[in-house]
Structure 1
């Protein structure tokens, strides 16, 4: 790699035009903060096309001086190389010095860089620079510098920020190994191998594609073989069906037809004889049916006549019995009057009548009271049943309003259903305070408020309908809310009221407190004063205790009501009995007068009753006789009808048998005709070979019958119709063509497989070969850092990575270094055990080790304030270390450090701040170490 000899800056930051020498091994740049030390290093970085330090860039420096252009010119050496492809870093430039130039101009509103490389020490003429030099783009310039040894990895090292000289110690083992390979040029070898490996993978992928193509073609060949098989099978079925239809069926049909026709003629004659026998039996059955039908008609006429006689006798009997009953009913009234008139009477009838009227008024009152008590008992029993089922019976207006809400689909609940008192001692206080809110309705969905309020207005519901509810807050100690539990959300104003009221044992304790309070008995104090608002236990409405109290109250009320009902019923029975007796007594006093007035009527009725009884008896005898005669006629008719029905059934059976015999004759006739037609058809289609008896015998042995042949023909035709067949003979040629293509593709795959295997073997051998080069690089770097450690008096151990012939192992390899300061034991690169100065020493060793190359012992390093964390002893130690190496160092340091920092410096550059009011900064002062001649 090359080294810096000088730099010239035109319009760079606040320097108008300044040339600075850099031809020393160690160049120290000193100056106060803000005097331009980092600005000078960033000029060198911009000249080398690497990024500036921190968040700065080259545009920041050229904007400060407000000039339209800026130039950077650097002179570097171009030493002869001892080995390598090119004799000098900047080949084909072979002079000992090379000039690097950077031009920064404003184009299109932005700053643009261009670079140039000239042979020798070329002076910068701003007026002629654009025409005299060949300017390069940034990427091409970077490529030229990389060929000269300034790789991207070295550029990253040169771009380390101020105070970050220990940056390399933060690298992981893998990152450090990767940096070593980049700096020593082996990264390109790895990249080239990776490209070869990628090409090998591409070839393998291509082979895989060919294999997949071969598999797909093999599948197509198998499918085509299947299609060809279906075509051959279809062709065979066609041939067999044609043979069976054209050759076998006519011969076997003729043989079987002869036998079938003979059997058919016999069946036809037998069916004819059976049909004539059935016809004779049919005529005999029809004659018997006619005889029995006449007998049934005669029996039916006799039954109808007997029924007419019975109906007339029954009518006469009913008339006589009704007349006899009327007379007997009137005589019963005579007997009743006689029984009443037989009593003793001595009281005043008027007084008894007044007494009977009073009794009847009392009975009506008792009935009304008893009815009211029973209605009340039914209501209490209904409420009791509801409470036992877990529900409280609400007032009628509440039930009606809830029914309207349910019909409208508005979800709601009652406040009394969600309140539970956790302390029974305060049940009465809670009931007293919440009594006005028993029938408060809580809406499940606040959005239903409008519809619910409209129903409340319509029903004139006098209780609150609350849409907005909330969870109960934390109860205040001693408040009434503390003994109340809500099963669901409740109105916030209710929570506030309960939380505001305190629980006190009595009025005496309450008088000592401010605010609202309530006693267990329900004596309540509020802002308006104090009053008793308690409710009886049976009237409780909130929680389980209220339900139990109400249940007990209802049971007691029902018990008392039942006692009243029983008492009223006993009084009603006694009064009713007394009124009935008194009414009978009064009736007896009128019976004597009535008997006298109706004596003749009753005598005539008694005489008429005897004759009516005799007439009823005679009519009954006649009715019994007519009934017996009618039953006998009914039996005779039933027997005649049964006999007729039986013969009619036999006549129907004979008719069915006759129809069956006629059908059998017709079927035998059709079968005989069909057999004769088939026989003629077979004879007409006989093949010429049928004249040979041996051929006919062979067919008879091969096939059982013509029916079997027809069945097989039908089976083959169905198979041809329902199967998925190939009917084009071109499928055979296509199968042969695909088989040839498959064989050709198989040969290509085998040839490509051999090529891939050979490429894999060559790639493996190449990787094995360059791994030796990587091992040599790692060993060289390890030797560099160990030698640098010896120069600095620091023990360095290097754990070389395992570089085997395996991609996975190479991807996971790392370089591990350990350092021993002052014989205190080994420590890692960034394990937190080293001091700031030790971190600087480790970083310098790692950094300078990258620049050491036996073939090109050169290179330069930018180190921004390396002595920032060092004491005087370590400053001397680092200075001695830097002098012992062969690289060129450009070091910055503030002017507040110990003078020991100048001990290794061969050239010292002192920067100064721009004075107020001046446009340009003062030039950089130069101090060169005097070298005494050797004695």
Structure 2
């Protein structure tokens, strides 16, 4: 007999694909209850075409994983027999040292069907379909019986868990019959009887009748095949009709209802999301209206503060001018007093030169004063434009825009579309976009030729871009994240802003892979790093740029006004001094003039103190009005920025509403379509097809309507591709030929009765074989005695009386007695032995069947043999197990003493399937290490 080397299981119970080695004399399978020990043994039993343990069968295991197929592949040895003979190996004509046994289980016609194959060598599963010759169960069992796995051995291998003591329940006759079956003698006796009958048939004079019967058999078989093809054709048509008229409408209706319920849930979720988006949009609109009103209020407050500052400034200028006028007139007194105090009679020529110099200095100062006044006018115009929300562009930009407007070309400047949402990064955006601030963006790409022609004519130095698009979503951490565009912009601009990362300083930027920029404009690109910052007064983008430019212009106007006032005072002083000197030279008497204007100068002194007090008061009011105006300007800027941000939120909320609305509309269309489909399929439902029993049957057979359609297509393909017999008369012809053949068979049976004389030869042959039977019984007796000695148990064998007589052979039995611990002989099942003793008796009887000296090896399944044994008996059983040449596959729970592992060369540990997982974990392996 052969021994197991390994077993591979695919979709067996909860194992997806698992290969387990069995190449050891004693293999111990350990694991908790329910972990798969018996499942592994049942896989081997199914592979050997014997029944599983208990009430289980192979269908139970392949249904658990819900897969349409399963494979069991076992590798066994194919040793050469010692006596050689016509069959030198168990699986002859296969002579390789190893043979592969395969069991394929798959669904066929709604039921699970087994097919087997025997291949030479260690053949992998992937090559089976191309090379395997599949066998039926009976043919496969015949092959295994020829290899030594007889039906009796199969009964022993199919013993259930905990039933290893069943052999002790055998009667002496049953035990003897089992011994003959295991050692092959039972088959020999049967074969002798069959040989006698065949000899009688071959020696008969029925050759002509046999030939006729053989011809008739050929015709019957041919007609049977035709009838089978006709029946299969009818079965396929009926199956297609049932599937199309009954199964498909029910399954399609159920699938459509399930999908409709799922879509309805999704529709409710989308509808809820749409309602939330609309609520958020209404809140945003309310906030936007509030902020818009706040912006208008802030703008009105700013305009009011500016008007008040202007009025106060005019009053201050008037008071200051009055002070200066009085001081100027008093300076005339001081001049006259100085002339009166000076020595009269100076050189007239020197005084004339001094007068000329004073007049030249006054003329030069007048020209410089005129330039400053022109510059003040220009700055005032720019400041007024900024305060009105307009920025004054360079001359070439104004000229270009005027030419485009004149040509009717819609356009916008890049600086008009860029708004910086984070003021802290205004400097970085200004620095990076400074070369592009005057880029012209065309409203219609079709105007490109005309716009380029104008740019060429005016030699416009900035880009004119015809192709613009909406800015994409900003990358997190990029400069584009703090920029908002009021319209479409060039794609290269969006890419540039998205490519540049924002960093706090160069140290942080050193760790960034790519371009980066700091807040004040230190920029790193592929060529290196440099500072490209822009002064605040030169900002060009957004509200922050306007405020920075306005502040810078205000500061410049303040300085320029101070310079103009000083220059005017100096010019007036020079003019007065020149006039006085000219008057002096004309011969006027300074003392006389002082005396004549004494009252005037006294009145001016008295007036000057009041005028100075009024100028100081107006200056304080001007400072207060300026502070109020600056605060109102800051509040207006904050309100405008907040309003812009809420406008962006409102735009985003509209986008979300559009998306949610599209989802709701799509869900509605799907629900309407599914509702129509469900009604259509419901109208096709046959009466009584939706009973719970019928629905459960269909759902167990088919997972969905698609699988039913696939089955229909498969059956229609078979029906179209097959060679079928459509004539129903073949059934009558088959029955007619079968009746004729039965009559011939009856005639031959009648004549065979005349050849009883051939039985004498068969009887003589059987008589000669009685000695072999006696030798078999003696060999089995020696085996059990030897095993008893190994286990420390006395065994007594009472050999049967065998003779060539049917009655004697039918009544013969094998009687065994056992002596445990020298307490006296006990029978096999007389009730005097303990549970552990019954197990040891059965092990001795079982293992003795495998100790055939003419046909050694073989394998045995022993399910929990140590269940009733103490430690001492476990060691004794382990010792005599190792002394045999058979292969043992032993199961045991993981609660026993570790002595159960003493005889094991290979230990397999099974594990339970974890909750929530589809497949059970693989079997763990532990092999005994052999010393060198």
| TM bracket (short chain) | 0.3 to 0.5
TM-score by length of 2: 0.40
